[in-house]
Amino acid sequence: MIFLGVDGGGTKTAFVLINSAGEVLAQHETSTCYYLNVGLENSKDIIANGIMEVCRRADIAPAVIDYSFFGLPAYGEVSADVPALDQMPAPLLSADKYRCDNDMICGWAASLGCRDGINIVSGTGSIAYGEHQAKSARCGGWGELFSDEGSAYWIGCNALNLFSKMSDHRLKMDILYDMIKSKYHIDIDLDINDLVFNKWHGDRGKIASVAKIAYEAAVEGDKESYKLFCTAAKELAMMVDSVRKKLEYAPDETTLVSFTGGVFNCGDIILDPFVHELAQLSGTYRVCQPKYHPSIGAAIYAAKISGNPIDDTVLSKLKIGE
C-alpha cells in the first residue's frame, strides 16, 4: 500500500510517499501553503502541484495512492474556511482517500510514532498537540499577532525589540545589536523600520529568520538573547503542561514529550531550559528525541487513519529526518 503525507508549515510544504514495507518512495519540498498568507487559490495550486511532483518522482499516478493526510497550517482556526480547505486535494484524489487537518498532527505523529504523548512545535509558529487514551487536545497556535509564543517569529519579534532597546540605551548594547546591524547592513538604527515594514512588508518568514541571529548572539554570550530563549522555553513548557491537563493524565503517570520545528535545531540553548521548565511543572515528563520528520509523520498518520497502521518493525526501517 502507498501513503502520502503532506506537512504544511509557515515557510514550506513537504510531501512524502511511503509504502507499507517502510520504504520512502519519493519526497518533494516547495513553498508554504499557509493560506492566510498566500490565499486559498494559491494554496490549492501549491497542494496540487506538490502532489503531481511527488508522484512524478515516484513514477506513479495520484490514483494509485491508497490514503493521504494533509497537515495544513491554520486548519480549523477559521471554521468557515474548513470546507474549502477540505476540497483542496479533490481535483487529484478521491474524497474517500484523504483527510485534511491541522499540521500540528504531523509533528505529533512524527515525533512519537503515533504513540500517546505530547508534541510541542516551535517553527515559524508554535503549538502543542497530544493524544492519550483516545482523547486529543491542543494548546497555542492562535497566530502571530497575539500568540505563537516561543516560536521563531516570536523570538524574531522580541530580538528586534531588544535591538531597539539597545539602540535607545534602555539596555546595554551587546552582541545582538552589532550582529543585526552587520547582517542587514544598517548604518542608521532607525532604518530597521524601513527593512521590516517597507522591504519585508512584515513578512512572517523573514521576521522569523531573525531568531537565528538571536541564537548566534546567545551562543556568543549575549545575555539578553540567552534570556530570550529561556523565556521561549518557559512558554513552550506551559503549552505542554496545559495539554497534559486537558488529556487527563493521572498525577503520577509518565507523559512522553517530544518536539519539532526549527527553533529546536538551536539545541541545548532551547532544550536545556525547556526540560528544566517542564521539571518545575511536573516530575512525570519524559522528553524524547523526535523519531521522524513531520512529513513522514503525516504519511504514518495517513496509514493509521486508513485502518492500515504500519507496525513498529516496519516503522523502524524509515529514516529519521528528511
pLDDT in tens, 251-283: 999 999 999 989 999 999 999 999 999 999 987
Say yes or no to pLDDT of 10 above 80. no
> How sure is the predictor about 322, in pLDDT bands with cuts at 50, 70 and 90?
very low
Please choose, from the candidates 113, 32, 107, the residue with its C-alpha nearest in 3D space to the C-alpha of residue 261.
Answer: 107
Mean pLDDT of the chain: 95
Share of the chain above pLDDT 70, in %: 99
43, 86 Cβ separation under 8 angstroms: no
Q: Read off the pTM.
A: 0.88
Structural domains in the chain, sorted by start? 2-113+291-315 (3.30.420.40), 114-290 (3.30.420.40)
CA distance 228 to 216: 12
- Coil, helix or strand for 116? coil
Q: Return the higher-pLDDT residue of 321 and 145.
A: 145
pLDDT at 319: 62
Say yes or no to pLDDT of 316 above 90. no
CA distance 302 to 320: 18
> How sure is the predictor about 102, in pLDDT bands with cuts at 50, 70 and 90?
very high
Say yes or no to pLDDT of 320 above 80. no
CA distance 88 to 14: 16
pLDDT at 321: 45
67, 56 Cβ separation under 8 angstroms: no
CA distance 235 to 156: 15
308, 20 Cβ separation under 8 angstroms: yes
Share of the chain above pLDDT 90, in %: 89
Mean pLDDT for 284-297 is 93
